[in-house]
Amino acid sequence: MFCDPIADMLTRVRNAYAAGHPKVDVPASNLKMEISRILREEGYILNYKLAEEGSKRTIKIYLKYTPTNQPVISKINRVSRPGCRVFVGSKDIPSVLGGMGINIMTTPRGVMTGKQARMEKVGGELLCEVW
């Protein structure tokens, strides 16, 4: 049993990239769907799809590789954890790798990247960093 479903999702994606798998299945939730949406919009994954098998819902995440078969995501880290939540204001949102990566955060206006949150002048909880 795990107590941090977001960290579990990120670990599954990280492990699937390390093993060279074309897709990974993750137990579904609305927050995980939003994280998958952002990863697709930013070009870190090919696509994602919600699959329902009976009462069990899973998200199928199709991973993206470069033409030389290198993973597009080199690092994906959890920032805010259940034991140590990390909240930032709109002016304190850190840039990831000098702007080469993204933050994914939950805000009062929904789940968005750190760049979008800075533009909308809204703070929130930093979920993860991707580059």
What does the pLDDT read at residue 2? Answer: 63
Residue located via tokens 């909880």:
125
Q: What is the pLDDT of residues 47-72, one digit of tens each?
A: 999 999 999 999 999 999 999 999 99
> What 3-state DSSP class applies to 125?
strand
What does the pLDDT read at residue 1? Answer: 47
Task: Give alpha helix (H) positions in the chain.
Answer: 5-19, 30-41, 114-120
- 8 Å CB contact between 45 and 64: yes
Alpha-carbon span 130 to 97, nearest angstrom: 9
Q: What is the pLDDT of residues 78-126, one digit of tens each?
A: 999 999 999 999 999 999 999 899 999 999 999 999 999 999 999 999 9
- The model's pTM is 0.94
Q: Where are the domains of the chain?
A: 5-130
Candidates 1.20.1090.10, 3.30.1370.30, 3.30.70.20, 3.40.710.10; CATH matching 5-130: 3.30.1370.30
